[in-house]
Structure 1
Amino acid sequence: MNKRTFLIISIIMSVGLAGCSKAKPANLALTGSQASASNATNQRDVMTYSGKMTGVVETNIFAKTPGRIASVQKDVGEQVNVGDVLVTLETTDLQAQLASAKADLALAEAKYNEIKRGTREEDIRSSEAAYQQAYQKYLDVKKGKRPQEIAKLNATLNEAKQAYDLAKVKYDRVKALYEQGATSKQSLDDAEIALRQAETKYFNAKNELSLALEGPTEETLNALKANVDQTKAMLDKAKNGPTKEAIEQNAASVAKARALVQLHEYNLQNGVIKSPIKGFVATKNANAGEMANPSAPLMTIVNLDRVYLVVSVPEKDLKYMKIGNEVNVNVEAIGKTMKGKVSMISPKADPGTDKFTVKIILNNASHELRAGMTGIVIISKS
């Protein structure tokens, strides 16, 4: 008889004896052959299944925001409570992003409030002045130059012509002296610069008089008229105030900027990763300096206040399993037999084994039972 069989028989006998405490003492005196027959009968009247224990509540801890791990506060085996800090991430970049988003929000709000208030009086006056100036210039150019202005342009041209002739004579004289070696190269250069300047003034004066006599071109008038229309449109816009579309568009910009601030605040808060449940650290995959990936768990937390014993039961024995039935569970690791209840029977068999998964729930206030321990459940057929 192996150790497990002996252990199961001992449990069955202890359960049976406990149920027969009122029997006469004479009935308890059995011969060796009678005891063996009784044991065989008891074994046929019970079923035993072995399985592993898991926490009823078990959760993986993930970083919601990618980042470098600054510190790890808990290690495997340590007990944690709801809200305890498990891991912290470096937040320098997150803080900078939040500050930038807040600045953008302030600008968007300022622009929205300015538009909502409408155009200021000084802006209207400025637009009015720009329109009047553009319109007057258009009229002046369209009318052409007055006789007095033509006379003034003629006088300017004559002065420019005299200055040019004088500069030409001086240049020729200095050039002759330079060729004879009677003056310096610098004097020749100065005379040449003065000649070029006088020539430019003479050309500009002649051109301006010619344009004044010919009148404005069609292209010039069209350009000036377009400028009038543009300044008039700006003046009308200033007087009418912001459109409904402009207000809604800027309101949308404010909402977008505010949402971005909230996102960065959320990311910054997620730089501190806390435990959502009470329990024990079962696994740890996080170390300071490493990168936290939102797709990879940093830790696993297991609550051991209650545990499941998960066993596989063949189809023929399911009729002895009822949800809520109390059963005995032997845990050799702690040397105890404990009471449990059937809490779940799978509605579908495992296609690989043709067996059904059954979960037995056990209270574990003392935390003696650990995830991964082996337990043997004993089910009576009677």
Structure 2
Amino acid sequence: MKIRDFAFLGMALLIGLAGCSHNSTDESDSSPPLEAVAVQTTLATIHPMASVVHAHGRLEPAPGADAKIASPIAGRLRAVLVREGDLVQAGEVVAIVDERPQQAQSLSAAAALRAAEAQAQQANFALKAAEADQANAVQLAQLALKSAELDRENAVQQAKIDLETAQTELKKLLAGARPQEIAQADQAVVQAKATRDRDAAELERVRFLYEHGIDSKRDLDDAQTALQVAEANLESAQQQDSLIRAGARPEDIQAARLRVQQAQQALQRAQADGDAKVQEAKTALRQAEQGALQVLAKKQEALAMQRTVQQKQADLLAAEATADYAVLRAPLSGVVTARNLNPGDMADPSTPVLEITDPNRLILVAQLPAEDGARVRKGMEAKVTSEVLSARTLAGRVISVGQVNPQTNLQEVQIAVSNPKGLLKVGDFASADIILAVTPHAVVVPKQAVLTQENKSVVFVVGNDGEAHQRDVLLGSEQGNLVEVRRGIAPGDQVILLGQYELSDGQKVKVISQGQDESGGNNS
């Protein structure tokens, strides 16, 4: 409502009161009707209304939004690079501790690592050489075993052949000549006799001719020679026939038996010698295979050296990490809220050098009565206000609802506050309306339209008859200057905003103006 409206309404009320005073001086036995009271009205409207719980408390850093930076190692501070109130970014270097002892440890660890790596490399070379030697020895032993087995097989096979040959010859000698051989020998004798008889007759013929001067001396000599050869062949055939019929001589049979015995012994020697060589080759193979134990020992040594290298690597990483600990970095972005130590001071893990807080991540810690806290749930939205915000509000959300303190009957509630521009500070007092529920179509009127009479809430509504009618109302949630009316009036009712304190139910009223509703609409 504008100032001129208030002035106009005030003048109208004064005029009305003056008229009443004038009429009172001219009283008569019959009282004239009361004049209409000038009032200002507004319409009951539909507006979303939230059911809220009011909370008040102090702002603190959200979990994880503040940090105390202490040196992980004991040492003298060489530099502190920020002051209280400075803005820092996560990862920014904020202080440096004297790192020379840690650098020396890092160099020593690096040298030990290089020595261990060299020893591990030598152990690997020795392992590879041992593996190659053992593999070659096994391969050669396997080839020697196969060769010994093949030699044994060949020698035994040859000895068996020699034995079978000797046994066959002995059997032949013991069996004597076959009928076919005797017949063949007899036939040879017959043929030899026939040849001799023919050559003898030829000699007589040639001698006769020679004596008579027909043949030469040479012809006679040839005939004599042929007869001698035929007689020799006859004698040989007769002797052969005699030998065949007589059979083998005892000494030949004994010699054959000796050859059989020698062949048997040769077979046994071949088998025994071959077995010995095969066994010797197997022994050599086992020895070569047992070389794997030496290889295993080399492998264990190489693994031990590798573990040593890993340990030295871990030592180096630890030394480098310790050296890195000398550089203190901001773990989060925020504002330096405390600087506890200065260059030259001794730093240690128990004494923070700096304290940093992220001003954009705050929580409102409030204590609620148990009956209000029982209605609050984690995740409910809230609207946060503070004196430093003037009329502005910030969004919030309930992140924690604690237990009721039996001594105080209060319940702690934590509300995360969105503070992107850093308007709120740690330690500021703030208030929050925790939204329990929202009624999207609530009937609302300005709070100033509501009167309390006899412990009841009432409003005056201008009826179509131009009279003010008193309505008992049931109020609900409040939001700003508006209040929800759950029962008693309807949307569009003309509710008296100013002038209702002078009214009684059924009194005539004169609407001077209509005010502007809180939702932005104009009722004039």
TM-score range, shorter chain: 0.5 to 0.7
**AA matched with 1:92:** R
- Note the C-alpha offset of 1:77: 0.9
Count, aligned residues: 226
Cα distance change on mapping 1:107 and 1:47 into 2, 3 Å: closer
Does residue 110 in structure 1 map to residue 124 in structure 2?
Answer: no
Contact 1:326 1:339 in 2 (8 A): no
- Note the C-alpha offset of 1:337: 4.6
Q: Deviations over 1:123-170 (max 9, x none)?
A: xxxxxxxxxxxxxxxxxxxxxxxxxxxxxxxxxxxxxxxxxxxxxxxx
Does residue 27 in structure 1 map to residue 82 in structure 2?
Answer: no
Aligned positions of 1:87-236 closer than 5 A = 87-118=95-126
Which structure is higher in helix share?
1
- Note the C-alpha offset of 1:260: 0.5
Contact 1:313 1:357 in 2 (8 A): yes
**AA matched with 1:103:** A
Cα distance change on mapping 1:66 and 1:352 into 2, 3 Å: farther
Alignment correspondent of 1:51: 57
Cα distance change on mapping 1:116 and 1:370 into 2, 3 Å: same
CA distance in 1, matches of 2:105, 2:406: 52
**AA matched with 1:362:** V
Q: Deviations over 1:85-124 (max 9, x none)?
A: 11111111111111111111111122222232229x9xxx
- Note the C-alpha offset of 1:262: 0.8
Alignment correspondent of 2:87: 79
SS in 1 for 2:360: strand
Task: Choose from 251, 254, 262 the match for 2:309.
Answer: 254
Gaps of at least 5 residues in structure 2 are 1-38, 44-50, 130-290, 436-475, 478-524
CA distance in 1, matches of 2:385, 2:69: 32
Contact 1:52 1:309 in 2 (8 A): yes
Contact 2:68 2:353 in 1 (8 A): yes
Gaps of at least 5 residues in structure 1 are 1-24, 30-44, 122-236
Q: Deviations over 1:71-92 (max 9, x none)?
A: 1111111111111111111111
Cα distance change on mapping 1:351 and 1:251 into 2, 3 Å: farther
**AA matched with 2:385:** N
CA distance in 2, matches of 1:277, 1:314: 35
- Note the C-alpha offset of 1:307: 2.0
CA distance in 2, matches of 1:342, 1:260: 47
- Note the C-alpha offset of 1:322: 4.1
Does residue 281 in structure 1 map to residue 295 in structure 2?
Answer: no
Cα distance change on mapping 1:49 and 1:249 into 2, 3 Å: same
Mark the structure with the bigger radius of gyration.
Answer: 2
Does residue 374 in structure 1 map to residue 429 in structure 2?
Answer: yes
CA distance in 2, matches of 1:352, 1:275: 41
Cα distance change on mapping 1:308 and 1:243 into 2, 3 Å: same
Cα distance change on mapping 1:111 and 1:47 into 2, 3 Å: closer
Which structure is higher in strand share?
2
Cα distance change on mapping 1:113 and 1:309 into 2, 3 Å: same
What TM-score do the two structures reach when normalised by structure 1? 0.52
Contact 2:60 2:364 in 1 (8 A): yes
Cα distance change on mapping 1:245 and 1:320 into 2, 3 Å: closer
Aligned positions of 1:9-20 closer than 5 A = none
Contact 1:281 1:302 in 2 (8 A): yes
